[in-house]
A and B are shown apart, each in its own frame.
Chain A
Amino acid sequence: MKNFIRTITAAAVMAMIGFVGQAVAEVTVASWGGAYTMSQQKAYADTFSNSPLVGGKANFINYNGGLGEVRTQVESGTIKWDIVDVLPHEARVGCDEGLFEELPRDVFAKAPDGTSMDEDIMVPVPNDCVAPQIFWSYMAFYKKGTFSGAQPSTIGDFFDVKKFPGKRGIHTWANALIEMALMADGVAAGDVYKVMDTKAGIDRAFAKLDTIKDHVVFWSSGAKPLEFVSSGEASMALAYNGRVGAAILSEGAPFVPVWDGQVLEEEWLVMVKGTPNYDEALRFMIHASAPYQQAGQGKYINYGPMRKSALDIIKSNEPWFHTGVNIMEHMPNTDEHMKNAVFANPAWWADNGDSISERFTAWMGK
């Protein structure tokens, strides 16, 4: 018995030391999982390790968003992630609070015409911590054949349950819904945030949301709205454009996107402050934000590259998608699809996100 216990203890201790002491030699990237991370894996990680010039290794792991984990990693000094794929709000807050490394800007690859990276990005670059990833959007969609006669074509139609009857699938948080409600209520895309700055504007958005309240089914995981619409549980739903695109492109689902009134969000890469793999991580970020790699992601998913030059690369090489489809028709940030759309304003959401979230939670529970 004694020997047995001794053996077990020794084995346990050794196993523990072995596991704890394992050094991180590769770049760890925390991202969102799903088809999105698969596209990152193919476009960035695979090319990163295959290229004889760069030759590094990047591993993707999933996380659920938010800065909580990054904050403790940095403040405790036990850095486990090197790079994080973050939303616009987190990109700003994290950089302000010193959770991310500030990166030298001149090391990043210029566009083919010589424009610097920061100039090449389609939105103003918020700070020196970020490297570009993609634009994704919240947009409405429906299944072919759901409605007879006129088909929905504007965000106003999404909020019009008389003209287009049936349930509406929407997400359980407020982002993009406020903007969409206002656009549906007739606010011009350019004025949305001006209206949202007033309390009356927010009331107006919630009043518009009230009109569909009784017809709403909520989703919180990105695959759900597709199931809703596909099964007929909802006649229209809001979804991440990439999910809808993937269903259309890979599975041939008969979905029709409504680009009007879409709300585009930024997605950035940032490096966690104090990471022991600074050099490798920076190399990966340079690699992943170069125009050709940015465009390469478009082969696997229809999220729009942030760099203009990457869009140009795709345009001049169509059909670009790996199955031989013209991907530009499915990208959110082409001129065509941007006619009546807004880029979400992270500064506004940084100020008002918490209070809107409380109000939205109360609204959902009513």
Chain B
Amino acid sequence: MALPIYATPLQRLWHFTYLAICAFVLFFLVMPLIAVIPISFSSSPFLEFTPGMLAFDPEAFSLRWYRILIGDCSDPGITTVCTDRWIIGAQNSLFIGIIATFLATTLGIMASLGLSRPHMPYRKAIMAVMISPLIVPLIITASGVFFFFAKLNLVATYAGLIFAHTVLGLPFVVITVTATLVGFDQNLTRAGASLGGGPLRNFFKIQMPLILPGVISGALFAFITSFDEVVIVLFVGGPEQVTLPRQMWSGIRQEISPTILSAATILVIISILLLTTVELLRRRTERLRGVTPS
């Protein structure tokens, strides 16, 4: 990416502006997430770098907000209700996320398989419907689902939330799996069938391994969507369905304390670990395939 030596000064200027913009953008994307981490170890109840922290005074740092996060309420200085809601929220989010992802993945694979078959009628229209939950603003989805679920007695139930999150996750699976199926050679299933495999066995032995990357990334998207979702939870969830985002939401709305930052820090670290793992895995497959990063 270096400039050729014959570049004019103007080109040089351009080039450095360009690099500066890129650096700024990358910094802009990541910086706030990094800035959160030190403040979560602050001992002050305000969301700012206190003078003590800037002077690296050990007094200014503490783990008190992490203790509150895990439901340890022995801190005498807390003025808010201290409960194990963060832990419960994390459990609920995982529970809802996993089941919704499972449902969305199953339904999504079915839809993609059907849509990729050569003789599917109304392909385009059906695809549009499948993707629509991604396009409709969440506030509208949440309002609609809220009224409708009320009639079905699904408001304030885990089932209601799981269904709603399945709806939101479905498009991701459909998009990623259909994309992997584009390159899929239908002759392989035919070969399988001619060798005596039943449709299910054929699917799991032949198609599944090939579309697996698409399934996994679709499922990951579906899970992240559910794990991060707050609007539907606010509308449809009841008192028991406290999820992690909902807990953060009420924290931001009512009593901003560094507890939120400690939760945020943990989530940021998880997402860094997740990304690194995915990247390492990807490199590993590429190495195994014999494709070296150029």
Known: A16-B158, A64-B253, A221-B254. A33 touches B81 (CB 8 A): yes
Interface pair B158/A19, CB less than 8 Å apart: yes
B265-278 interface bits toward A, Cβ cutoff 8 Å, 1 = contact, 0 = none? 00000000000000
Contact of B79 among A78, A231, A246 (CB under 8 A): A246
Q: Chain B interface: which of A68-76, A181-189, A196-204, A288-296?
A: A68-76
User: Which B residues are in CB contact (< 8 Å) with A231?
Assistant: 46
| A221 CB contacts on chain B under 8 angstroms | 252-256
Verify A33–B151 contact, CB threshold 8 A. no
A57-73 near B? 1/0 per residue, CB < 8 Å: 00111101000000011
Complex Cα–Cα for A227 and B81 (A): 20
Q: Are A32 and B95 CB-contacts (below 8 A) given A38-B81, A80-B156?
A: no
- A80 contact set on B, CB distance < 8 A: 155-156, 238-240
In the assembled complex, how far is the CB of residue A106 from the closest CB belonging to chain B, in whole angstroms?
Answer: 31
Which residue of chain B has its CB nearest to the CB of A71?
A: B150
User: B233-252 interface mask toward A, CB cutoff 8 Å, 1 = contact, 0 = none?
Assistant: 01000111010000000101
Count contacts on B: residues with CB < 8 A to the other chain: 32
Cα distance, A15 to B150, chains bound together (Å): 22
Q: Which of B79, B99, B157, B159 has the most CB of A within 10 A?
A: B79
Cβ–Cβ contact A34 & B255, under 8 A: yes
Known: A16-B99, A30-B239, A227-B46. A78 touches B254 (CB 8 A): no
Is the C-beta of A12 less than 8 angstroms from some C-beta in chain B?
A: yes
* Complex contact B155–A76 (CB within 8 A): yes
Bound-state Cα–Cα, A78 to B151, Å: 9
Residues of B within 8 A of A15 (CB): 95, 99
Given known A-B contacts A16-B158, A35-B79, A62-B250, A75 and B239 have beta carbons under 8 A apart: no
A20 within 8 A of B: yes
Instruction: Return the CB mask of A1-36 against B: 1 if under 8 Å, else 0.
Output: 110000010001001100110100000101011110
Contacts of A76 in B (CB 8 A): 150-151, 153, 155
Binary interface profile of A, 239-281, with partner B (CB < 8 Å = 1, else 0)?
0000000100011000000000000000000000000000000
A77 at the interface (CB under 8 A from B): yes
Evaluate contact between B81 and A41: CB separation under 8 angstroms: yes
Q: Determine the residue in chain A with the shortest Cβ distance to B92.
A: A19
Beta-carbon contact of A33 and B153 below 8 Å: no
Q: Does B146 contact A (CB under 8 A)?
A: yes
- Interchain CA distance A78-B241 in the complex, whole Å: 14
In the complex, the answer to whether A35 meets B80 with C-beta atoms within 8 Å is: yes
Residues of A contacting B239 in the complex (Cβ-Cβ under 8 angstroms): 28, 30, 59, 61, 80-81
When C-beta atoms are compared, the residue in chain B nearest to A227 turns out to be B46
A246 to B79, CA, bound (A): 8
CA–CA, A30 to B162, complex, Å?
23
> In this complex, which of B81, B158, B200, B204 has the most chain A Cβ atoms within 10 angstroms of its Cβ?
B81
**CA gap between A205 and B208 in the complex, in Å:** 68
Query: Which B residues touch A78, using CB under 8 A?
Result: 150, 153, 155-157
Point out the residues of chain A lying under 8 angstroms from B157, CB to CB.
19-20, 78
Contact with A along B69-102 (1 / 0, CB 8 A): 0000000010111000000000000010001001
| A residues less than 8 Å from B256 (CB atoms) | 221, 223-224
Is the pair A73, B156 in contact by a Cβ cutoff of 8 Å? Answer: yes
Q: Pick the most buried of A20, A22, A78: most chain B CB atoms within 10 A of its CB.
A: A78
B89 CB to closest chain A CB, in angstroms? 12
A-B contact pairs, 30 of them (CB 8 A): A2-B204, A8-B102, A16-B99, A16-B162, A19-B157, A20-B157, A20-B159, A28-B239, A33-B81, A34-B255, A35-B79, A35-B80, A37-B81, A38-B81, A41-B81, A59-B239, A64-B253, A72-B155, A73-B156, A75-B150, A76-B151, A78-B150, A78-B156, A80-B238, A80-B240, A81-B239, A221-B253, A223-B254, A250-B79, A251-B79
Interface residues of A (CB under 8 A from B): 1-2, 8, 12, 15-16, 19-20, 22, 28, 30, 32-35, 37-38, 41, 59-62, 64, 72-73, 75-78, 80-81, 220-224, 227, 230-231, 246, 250-251
- The 6 residue pairs across chains A and B that have the minimum distance between CB atoms: A76-B150, A61-B239, A80-B238, A80-B156, A19-B158, A72-B150
